């Protein structure tokens, strides 16, 4: 299979120019999310000092909440003493970000390897870059995507419901942008990661 340089650039551009965002787990991370929770919701609470508390929500208000601990004790906690509240129920991580990051890492690793190999090759008799790099990057992306999928299937996390200092409705995101180009005997990959 022969891929012309212009077609290779188009294929890499379409595959790599995506914008992938990793969003914070569900929840607005503002106190209003806690006030909206029904009584009986399972919570894991990280305090400013002391060990984390695990219990169920008994009541919540504008500046405090009451938690029923597993010992049967009810404990009132002021909002100012709470650093973070997570869901008490662990759930499986979504696999989309693992697939995307795995594919990007796999394709990037293969592209980096070929850039290094062609630079150190000198005058060796190697196939043209545009003939070998795109299919190799696709294979690396596939292997990375499968690996990312398997890793994400194994991860369980607790949704963050409240974090001290978080703006209501705000999300903490990470943006990864990839770009690349392929010419005879040369290849380039650009990666930009922003918060």
pLDDT at 95: 82
pTM over 0.75: no
The CATH architecture to which 31-87 belongs is Roll (2.30)
| Per-residue model confidence (pLDDT) at position 88 | 75
CA distance 180 to 2: 19
For the beta carbon of residue 186, count every other beta carbon within 10 angstroms: 14
Query: In sequence order, which residues have a C-beta less than 8 Å from that of residue 26 and are 6 or more positions away?
Result: 159
Q: What is the Cα 96 distance to its own chain's centre?
A: 9
Phi-psi region of 40 (alpha: psi -120 to 50; beta: other; left: phi over 0): left
pLDDT (0 to 100) of residue 27: 43
Largest CA distance in the chain: 76
Task: Please report the pLDDT score of residue 123 as a whole number.
Answer: 73
Identify the residue whose tokens are 């919570």: 43
SS (H, E, C) 75-131: EEEEHHHEEEEEECCCEECCCHHHHHHHHHHHHHHHHHHHHHHHHHHCCCCCCCHHH
pLDDT along the chain (195 residues), means of 10: 46 45 46 86 88 90 89 90 84 81 92 84 77 89 91 78 66 60 70 65
pLDDT value of residue 166: 59
Q: Where in the chain is the domain with CATH 2.30.30.100?
A: 31-87
């Amino acid at each position: 299979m022969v891929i012309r340089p212009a077609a290779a650039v188009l294929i890499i551009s379409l595959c790599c120019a995506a914008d992938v965002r990793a969003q914070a787990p569900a929840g607005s991370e503002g106190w209003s999310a806690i006030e909206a929770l029904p009584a009986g919701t399972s919570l894991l609470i990280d305090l400013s000092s002391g060990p984390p508390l695990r219990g169920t929500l008994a009541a919540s208000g504008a500046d405090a909440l009451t938690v029923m601990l597993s010992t049967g004790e009810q404990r009132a906690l002021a909002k100012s003493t709470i650093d973070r509240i997570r869901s008490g129920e662990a759930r499986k991580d979504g696999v989309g970000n693992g697939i995307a990051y795995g594919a990007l890492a796999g394709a990037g690793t293969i592209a980096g390897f070929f850039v290094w190999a062609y630079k150190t090759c000198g005058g060796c008799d190697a196939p043209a870059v545009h003939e070998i790099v795109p299919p190799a990057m696709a294979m690396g992306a596939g292997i990375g995507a499968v690996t990312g999928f398997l890793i994400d299937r194994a991860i369980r996390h607790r949704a963050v419901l409240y974090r001290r200092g978080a703006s209501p409705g705000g999300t903490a995101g990470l943006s990864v942008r990839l770009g690349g180009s392929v010419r005879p005997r040369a290849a380039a990959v650009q990666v930009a990661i922003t918060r």
